[in-house]
Structure 1
Amino acid sequence: MKMTKYKLSELVEVTRGASLSGQFYAEEGKLVRLTLGNFNINGGGFKENTSKTDLYFTGTVRDEFILNEGDIITPLTEQSLGLLGTTARIPESGKYIQSQDVALVRCKKGLLDPNFCYYLISSSIVRQQLSAAAQQTKIRHTSPEKIKDCTVWVPDFDVQKNIGRILTDIDNKIAINRRINDNLPMLDRSSRGARVRRAA
């Protein structure tokens, strides 16, 4: 399989989110501000942040920072070791605000398949480069420029689409299995209760 060397800047646009004033944080509202807690560090992907209660934002936000379903995001701050390079997809349009600790990654049409991009950004080769270039403070940071400066090797566009589709299908099946497993104890309790009622 032919692989071509690129800088990510040739394949994607990477932008930083909005700086959101804390005075507009709220416990309810229509728009949710994205935080580092929305990244699943164990296995990647999007998760709802359950660690905070003031996740809603009631101030004015430019439309460009309100994300759409399927948009790819990656953290710019590493509060937990290994967070840099994690990727997530936005699950719903018009609900989530891109905050300044979160980068939006958009593929250049015809050059990089979005599904392939999702896995490329979280690959070990990109993670290693981000880690090496991160600012060495107690909490490490990266930037859109450092993400775009990463070197990658990618196959032709049609091959990317095939690989991206296969990996996405696998992740979707894993997610379904996890949801089934999460519900098994509840199903077990219900069936035990039904058996007790029948016995009585």
Structure 2
Amino acid sequence: MNVPKLRFSGFTGDWEERKLNEASSYSNGGSYENDVRSSGKYQLVTLKSVDMAGNLVDSRKYIDKEVPTLSKGTLVMILSEQSPGLLGMTAQIPENNKYVLNQRVAEIKPNNNTDSYFLSMAINRCQQYFSKRGAGTKVQNISKGNVENFEFYCPIIEEQQKIGYFFKTLDKKIQLQQQKIDLLKEKKKSLMSRIFNPTQVSEWRKIEINEFMEFSTGKSQNEFIEQQGEFTVMDMGAISNEGKIISNKFTNHSTALISQGSLVMPKDDIGGGKIIGLTAYVPKNNKYVLGDHVYLVKVDEKICNPLFAHFQFHSVPFRKRLKRLVTGSAQLGITSKNIVKEYFYLPSLLEQAKIANFLLSLDKKIELEIQKNEFYKLQKQGFIQQMFI
């Protein structure tokens, strides 16, 4: 029988297999590149308007030209892949008379017997179908024929609506949780800007970095990488743009172990330079090994709390100063010789510890909220697997 594993009570019978062109109508977008403004009456739906979760995101492109707009409940589908996994992804238009469809994005308009949210979920869970049929070398494209021939299983409209509403509620829960996370991050950023603002810290000591920090470099650990290694390799790819440690390379080679309280700083970046000069704080001994493309930063703890230093490196005032020191074109970089000429503002060690622990508690709170949202997302994926065929 063609039925899902998990079903709302009151619904029985097989689901029917349909082609997308039997459940909706397809239209292509127009070419409005010459009409784009930074603000305007209508938001342009572009290849950047749909994310990996099937959410509609702001393209930051607008037009004032009077052209046909998309209706509420219409789906928009990505026809050219800008990032792996986005080809064929859909998002739902939330309101009338606000959105205009650009080229390389399709309008999928559900018919009266098809629930919009259900259809979007049914399409988005089958990304393999679209990626297999993508054509092109540098950029993958999907044809109208392949889109319209997409097949999926579908129940009666009442059951579709029930399923659609259920996932809409789940998505809203995830969205609200993400907003909570974003607000906490903004709060932390704002607090750090105030804490480390030079105009607000006149009583703090201004001191050059070379007086209390030492910078050294490591070597590539690539020849020693193992799937089940005991130690995490700290190289350029091991530090996020928020200064978190990303454990994605492991080794059993222990010749360059990093001690607790050390900082690791990316010195090169090919992705726009966003991580250059950020630091990751090493929380444990005998856990991390130094790799390449990073500096190992040792802080004199008689002068500066290492965790306090980590947060000051991430503060907006310091980031602005450090950005001026970055050089290069294709691969950006920063030299330790230039960094050590910069300066920190330092209060007493007691105050440093209090500030560091306060900001660390905020980080832990943010991490807990992130974990909660990851659980919601996993929960959603579990329901998708059981409630669709």
Instruction: Give the counterpart of 1:27 among 9, 28, 38.
Output: 38
Deviation for aligned residue 1:23 = 2.9
How far 1:71 moved relative to its partner? 2.4
Q: Paired residue for 2:171?
A: 171
Which residue among 13, 17, 30 is the counterpart of 1:5? 17
Tell me the CA shift for residue 175 of structure 1.
0.5
Aligned-residue offset at 1:183: 0.9
Distance 1:25 1:7, change over 3 A: same
Alpha-carbon distance change, 98 to 189 in structure 1, aligned in 2, over 3 angstroms: closer
CA contact (8 A) 2:25 2:109 kept: yes
- Structure 2 gaps of 5+ residues are 4-13, 195-389
Paired letter, 1:113 = D
Please state how far the C-alpha of 1:178 moved relative to its aligned partner. 0.8
Displacement of 1:83 in angstroms is: 0.7
Which of 118, 121, 126 aligns to 2:120? It is 118
Give, in whole Å, the separation in 2 of the partners of 1:108 and 1:91: 17
* Mapped contact 2:88–2:142 kept (Cα < 8 A): no
The CA distance in 2 between the partners of 1:45 and 1:189, in whole Å, is 26
Q: Structure 1 pair 60/131, CA: closer, same or farther in 2 (3 Å)?
A: same
Deviation for aligned residue 1:105 = 1.0
The answer on whether the counterparts of 2:74 and 2:93 sit within 8 Å (CA) in structure 1 is: yes
Q: Distance in 2 between matches of 1:24 and 1:186?
A: 34
Which structure has the higher relative contact order (CA within 8 Å, separation 6+)? Answer: 1
**Structure with greater Cα Rg:** 2
Partner of 1:101: 104
Structure 2 counterpart of 1:49, one-letter code: S
Which of 44, 56, 63 is equivalent to 2:62?
56
Residues of 1 paired with 2:39 and 2:191: CA distance? 37
> In percent, how many aligned pairs have the same letter?
28
> Counterparts of 2:57 and 2:133 in 1: how far apart (Å)?
27
Where do residues 75-90 of structure 1 align in structure 2 (5 Å cutoff)? 75-90=78-93
Aligned to 1:103, the other structure's residue is in SS state strand
Separation of aligned partners in 2, 1:116 and 1:145: 22
1 CA distance for matches of 2:71 and 2:20?
A: 22
Partner of 2:71: 68
> Does the 8 Å CA contact 1:113/1:161 hold for their aligned counterparts?
yes
Name the Cα RMSD after superposition.
Answer: 2.3
Which secondary structure state, in structure 1, belongs to the residue aligned with residue 17 of structure 2? strand
AA aligned opposite 1:47: V
Classify the secondary structure of the residue corresponding to 1:13.
Answer: strand
Secondary structure at 2:48's aligned position in 1? Answer: helix
Equivalent residues of 1:85, 1:123 under 8 A apart: no
Q: TM-score by structure 1 length? A: 0.80
Give the structure-2-normalised TM-score: 0.43
Q: What does residue 55 of structure 2 align with? A: 45
Match of 1:182 in 2: 182
Is the CA contact (8 Å cut-off) linking 2:44 and 2:63 kept in structure 1?
yes
For residues 154 and 92 of structure 1, do their structure 2 counterparts lie closer, same or farther at Cα, with a shift above 3 Å needed?
A: closer
Q: CA deviation at 1:99?
A: 0.8
Structure 1 residues 187 and 157, CA gap change in structure 2 (3 angstroms): same
Structure 1 residue 48, shift from structure 2 partner = 1.2
